[in-house]
Every structure is written in structure tokens, then in C-alpha cells.
Amino acid sequence: MDTVKEIIEHQIGRFPEFAYYLPLIEKAKADLVEHPDICIETCKSLLEGISKSIIEKLPNPHARPDLDKLEVGPLVKLAVTQLKVNNDIVEDDFLKRCSSLAYAMGALRNARGDISHGKGAPKLHQSDDKLSSLSLKMTASVLFYMLDAFFSIPDPEVAPVGEERIEYEDNPDFNQSLDDENPLDGRVLYSRALYDQYYEDYTIQLSDYQYEQELQGELEE
């Protein structure tokens, strides 16, 4: 799941709402051994939630109430199908395998889930950490493939024609000053988020910063 976490964190500036899934990723990992059925249920929730988020952000999105009526299998199939329309790297075979995994996860959760169905104790069927580990790895593979395909779709907003886009890496001192003034928890950098999500605001603040630096330089001479 670390690769899924990393790709979400890297794109948090463009899609900050995906940060919602980071605690769920940590929960799935934490419950791997001690609570394997809860780990499996969390994996299923991640497949459902991220599929919904992807569907809602692609062209011709479905309404949330309609998505909430779908089980995890149809949700994942719909998300991957729409990704295939918008990204030619998604293959038909992958679509089928994603759907099969999602249906299997849904069946496991319904049979052995601890949370949603309030299973009595002792449970008649309980998963072990080998099954939860397999579920975690397979879920991670599917989610990474889906997110990588989704994040690779170009943004509709591009720099104006004739205007060269400022490179984030070209302004390390400015970026550091933004991060020092606006510290964020975790590995997310304020400067990176501002650049990715509000590019125009980033350029305005950069211009102000450069002007202040020029004034300071003149005063010191």
C-alpha cells in the first residue's frame, strides 16, 4: 500500500480530496495481522471510495446517490471502464481482472466482515493474515494502476499560449519560505500544493517575493 500512499501524496496538490483515503490505507496496514477481516473490509472500502472519486471527476460523471447504490464490483468496473475511455493504457484484460477482484472482495467482506454486519462471537468463519496480506497486495496493485491512469490524464487548464510556465524546481528559496510560513502535517508541502492546484496564485506570490528580494538587495548595497 506504500506505493498507493505515495502516488496520492504526490498528487495531493491537484486532488486534495484524495487525502481522505490516507488514514484508511494506514488502517488496512495496521489491521493486517491482528484483525485480518477488518483489513479486508478496509480494502473493500478503499476500492469503493476511490472508484467513486475517479468516476465523479471524469467526463459524464454519475450522480453520487446512483453510485452509492452500486456494490464494489460494479463500481470498480465502471471506474476502470471510464478510465479506458480517457486513457488508452488501460487494457480490456485488466478491466476484467479488476472486476473479478472487486467482486471477490465484496463477497469476502459480506461473509466475514466485522464492522458492517456486526458479526457475533465467535465467528463461524475467520480469515487469517495470509488472506488479508493477499487482499492488501491485490488491492494495492489495482488501486495503483487505477490512480496512475487517472492522474496521468492531463488537466483541462494549461498555461496561456505564448506564456512559458514557471518550473516549480527553479525557485527553491521561495518554495522553502512558503513551506516555513505554512507548515503542513505529513509529507505534503504547501508550496507544491499551491503550485499544482493554484498556479496563478503561486506566480503572484513568487512575483511579490522576487520584488521584495530585489528591494532588500538594493538596500544592502
pLDDT digits (tens, 9 = 90+) for 161-183: 445 678 889 999 999 999 998 88
Domain count, the chain: 2
Q: What is the pTM of this model?
A: 0.62
Instruction: Give the residue-averaged pLDDT of 114-129.
Output: 54
% of the chain exceeding 90 in pLDDT = 21
Q: How far apart are CA 148 and CA 50, in angstroms?
A: 12
Task: Identify whether 87 is part of a domain.
Answer: yes
> Both 94 and 69 in a single domain?
yes
CB within 8 Å of 5: residues ≥ 6 apart: 22, 25, 26
Quote the domain boundaries for residue 206: 168-219
Task: Identify whether 189 is part of a domain.
Answer: yes
> Both 81 and 128 in a single domain?
yes
Instruction: Give the residue-averaged pLDDT of 42-47.
Output: 91
> Both 183 and 212 in a single domain?
yes
Residues belonging to the chain: 221
> Both 40 and 77 in a single domain?
yes
> Both 99 and 204 in a single domain?
no
Per-residue pLDDT at 4 exceeds 90:
yes
Instruction: Give the residue-averaged pLDDT of 192-213.
Output: 83
> Both 66 and 147 in a single domain?
yes
> Both 200 and 105 in a single domain?
no
Task: Identify whether 147 is part of a domain.
Answer: yes
- Write the secondary structure of 149-165 as one string of H (helix), E (strand) and C (coil): HHHCCCCCCCCCCCCCC
Q: How far apart are CA 44 and CA 157, in angstroms?
A: 33
Least confident of 58-62, 98-102, 134-138, 144-148: 98-102
> Both 146 and 174 in a single domain?
no
Task: Identify whether 210 is part of a domain.
Answer: yes
> Both 116 and 175 in a single domain?
no
Over the chain, what is the mean pLDDT? Answer: 79
> Both 117 and 210 in a single domain?
no
Residue with C-alpha cell 484483525? 35
> Both 109 and 188 in a single domain?
no
Q: What is the pLDDT of residue 62?
A: 77
